[in-house]
Structure 1
Amino acid sequence: MTGGVGIGAIRIDPVPEVTYRLFPREFLFPTLTHEDAAANADWLAPGMLHPETLAVGMSFRSYLIRVRGQNILVDTCNGNHKNRPHAPWQHDMRSHAFLSALADLGLGVEDIHIVLCTHLHTDHVGWNTRLVNGQWVPTFPNARYVMNEAEFRHFEALVGTEGPRYSHIEDSVLPVVAAGQAELVPDTHSVMAEIGEEVFLSPSPGHSPGHVCIHARAKGAEAVISGDAIHHAVQFDLPDMMMRADWDPAMAAASRRAIMEHCAGSGALLCAGHIPFWTAGRISEGGQAFRLSPVEG
């Protein structure tokens, strides 16, 4: 697995919760074929796609951005003790991996200044809160939690519908709002801008209505943390392939392709939290397809 990367004075490190897990093809890409897998076997890391079953290898990780004394956490994975009966692999997790990974980077929960949410799906907001004396409280007591307001309003309106489907909003988002730690912003929000460094949001809707990417720039270099705009490395070869949970598949494909084109054209690093083994990479373009090459910082 690749490690963290430096961009000028900015440091970006992965914070893993689940390093590797295989999911059935249908969990991500119902239309993926054996021909697709064979066409990408020469460059995908072993374990990303099972050659026979087409099972898909995934990871679940956050990213920590450190710049000018600010500790900024992008997304918070699945979380512990969460009631997810529709997802047995995620239901009532009791893992120390996430907070241990943060501790390995020298930080405790009180050291996080900002939590950035690319979107509000269950596997990206889980550690927003933790269970204390039977109550869901913000995991990071000193942080402001930055969310796209359009994304929040969309999911807020769905709370209480479709059984437990949106329970993650109730246990992992609304308690942050109730605690007064949420900051609802537009999809082009500047998180910080200093001389030489900046961190900001850009719109990438489609996987969810208000999905955003996080950009970190310093001295002409850039990294893009793509949330769920990109799930897996095979999508670089098949950027228009539908992901099962995309809210608007055509819009998601357009956002995905725009990110790939931006990174390929600018040389920006890509940090994609669900791609196993490769925590950061560079994108190259060739015709209608792209390729991702892992980098070490």
Structure 2
Amino acid sequence: MWERKIINERQNTKRLQEDGYSHEDDGDETAMRANCTCTLVRCRDGTNIIVDTMTAWDGELLRSLLGNHGLGVEDIQVVVCSHGHSDHIGCNYLFQKARMHLVGACASHRDLYWDLFPSGKQDAELTLDSNAEVVVRRTPGHTHSCVSVIVDNSQLGGRVGITGDLFERREDIDDESIWMDAGSESEKLQRQERCKMAHLCDFIVPGHGPMFAVVETMRSQLKKDADLSA
């Protein structure tokens, strides 16, 4: 069973999170069970953003979770998928009223596509709200087109990074094999981006687990990892 919870109400945003998971299938050691962490960001200017939309079989669950906050699928203005794997994009079809869908660094609306992240700029960012408190940032590694969402001004007292599979879950800071076994198109880039996000953010929402606070020992470990791969 997934843990369903409201993470918090924040000064400038509200978030509903459905914690993801990834683990070996009980009946087949060659197969995995996985679904992404899905997050709703409600901005102070009224913009509603959903980050990573789970599998195509989760539509009714997602509608229910939104309904708990008095929202319908038509109330989502922006859809952000950290990357294009099927457990992160499955319910994009629900949000046909959104003004923009981002799948990794690819931005679109219907059949119109924009080049919003110049390929030559690795740290390119895109602001999603009028107060410039929610941005999408390129964070390549798990895939070359991966992005993360950074949310400022929280009641938690710091910045929140919603990172997709840049981090699988909290435990992968101590055990690199967790994120490496999940697949990485560039382990070197992923180590570098993990270090950057840990230094930029106070809290991380990983791709397949609950949010965790970033402490200095984590930043030190991630910097060591990044330096070794430089």
TM-score by length of 1: 0.59
In terms of Rg, which structure is larger?
1
Closer, same or farther: CA 269–193 of 1 in aligned 2, 3 Å: farther
Give the conservation status (yes or no) of the 8 Å contact 1:146–1:185.
no
Q: Does 1:217 align with 2:152?
A: yes
Quote how far apart the aligned CAs of 1:261 are: 3.1
Give the conservation status (yes or no) of the 8 Å contact 2:204–2:214.
yes
Among candidates 185, 188, 200, match of residue 247 of structure 1: 185
Closer, same or farther: CA 120–95 of 1 in aligned 2, 3 Å: closer
Quote how far apart the aligned CAs of 1:21 are: 5.7
Give the conservation status (yes or no) of the 8 Å contact 1:15–1:64.
no
Structure 1 portions without partners, runs of 5+: 25-52, 81-93, 130-138, 154-172, 291-297
Matched residue, 2:56: 79
Q: Does 1:111 align with 2:75?
A: yes
Shift >4 Å, 4+ stretches: 55-59
**Equivalents in 2 of 1:200, 1:228: separation in Å?**
18
Give the conservation status (yes or no) of the 8 Å contact 1:190–1:201.
yes
Among candidates 64, 89, 103, match of residue 40 of structure 2: 64
User: What amino acid is the match of 1:66?
Assistant: R
Give the conservation status (yes or no) of the 8 Å contact 2:55–2:90.
yes
Quote how far apart the aligned CAs of 1:146 are: 3.8
**Equivalents in 2 of 1:69, 1:242: separation in Å?**
38
Q: Which protein, 1 or 2, shows the higher relative CO under an 8 Å CA cutoff with sep ≥ 6? A: 1
**Equivalents in 2 of 1:100, 1:148: separation in Å?**
23
Among candidates 125, 136, 141, match of residue 206 of structure 1: 141
Give the conservation status (yes or no) of the 8 Å contact 1:239–1:256.
no
Equivalent residues, number: 206
Closer, same or farther: CA 284–56 of 1 in aligned 2, 3 Å: farther
Quote how far apart the aligned CAs of 1:183 are: 5.0
Among candidates 125, 135, 141, match of residue 96 of structure 2: 141
**Equivalents in 1 of 2:40, 2:133: separation in Å?**
15
TM-score by length of 2: 0.74
Give the conservation status (yes or no) of the 8 Å contact 2:35–2:55.
no
Instruction: State the identity as a percent.
Output: 23
Among candidates 193, 197, 213, match of residue 282 of structure 1: 213
1:6-53 Cα offsets, whole Å, 9 max, x none, are: 33221121146xx656326xxxxxxxxxxxxxxxxxxxxxxxxxxxx9
SS class of match (2:181): coil
Quote how far apart the aligned CAs of 1:112 are: 0.9
